[in-house]
Amino acid sequence: MIGVGRGQAILGSTGPERALATQLNGAGSAAQFQHELPQRVVTLEAFRIDRTPVTNQAFAEFVASCGKVPPDTETITPDVWRDIAQRLGVPHSYEQIQRFIWPGAAPHSERATHPVVLVTHDDAAFYCAWRGARLPTEDEWERAARGTQGQMFPWGQRFEPSFVNTRESGVLDTVAVDSFDLVSSPIGAKDMGGLVFEWTDSLLREGGTTRIVKGNSWNQRGGLSRAASRSTRDQTVRDVEVGFRCAESGTERHAPSDPSTP
């Protein structure tokens, strides 16, 4: 994890920034940015956040330790996926998601260091709690991505397709976390402008079930790579474009108590 001290942060976007995002994503894409908040300055308490998204390998350790259900062929059957797609509007067919589904209690070996996907918001929150952490808030995630100066992208003010795994990269799949290692966010976090969208603990509306996801994915264009980009997912959805990373309050990491110590 990386520590971020207490202080002010520039969050949200301006009209010109959203216009640039629409230009990057193409005609008719303005609706993708409709949920973004206006630019503002907020004060955030100190926190820590994972340097990279959580991997399949790390999530498999959680599954083995806690008996949680993995995103495997028994959990995600064609009927289950059909219900998710129809109820929540997920665009990918069952055939298209095959490579992301685990064959059993562990992922395909060649995807061990890829970010875990096909996990619900609750799955992600339980994993973080198992680690003694939590999901980041939307504001914490954005602060980690753009630094104190409020830069537009994790790496600066211009979209750089070679810096991140988005549709422009041509990969059209997840890759190992930190594979696009040319650049990191101002605090040293990786993959915050692409690879997978990431769950946050923030709701779109109080009392609802729609959560804010931040970042961008391997299947979307660069306008969503901006730190202020704000997408949404129902918290029960499983999506091949959505993963997560964990956070915790404070900047000091405390080791678990030694049970042998009185």
pTM above threshold 0.85: yes
Any domain includes 259: no
- Residue 261: inside a domain, yes or no? no
In a domain? residue 262: no
144-201 pLDDT, tens per residue?
Answer: 999 998 999 999 999 999 999 999 999 999 999 999 877 899 999 999 999 999 999 9
Residue 257 lies in a domain: no
- Whether residue 31 lies inside any domain: the answer is yes
- For the chain, give the DSSP string: -EEE-SEEEEESB-HHHHHHHHHHH-TT-GGGGTTPPBPEEEEE--EEE-SSPPBHHHHHHHHHHH-PPPSBTTTS-HHHHHHHHHHH-----TGGGGGGSBSSSS--GGGTTSBP-S--HHHHHHHHHHTT-BPPPHHHHHHHHHTTTT-SBTTBSS--GGGS-SGGGS--S---TT-STT---TTS--SSSSSSEEEEEEESSTTSSEEEEES--TTS-GGGGSTT--EEEETT---TTEE---EEESSSPPPPP-TT--
pLDDT in the model for residue 253: 62
Residue 193: which domain range? 2-249
Please give the tally of structural domains in the chain.
1
CATH value at residue 137: 3.90.1580.10
Q: Is residue 68 part of a domain?
A: yes
Task: Summarize pLDDT for 96-137 with one digit per residue, the tens.
Answer: 999 999 999 999 999 999 999 999 999 999 999 999 999 999
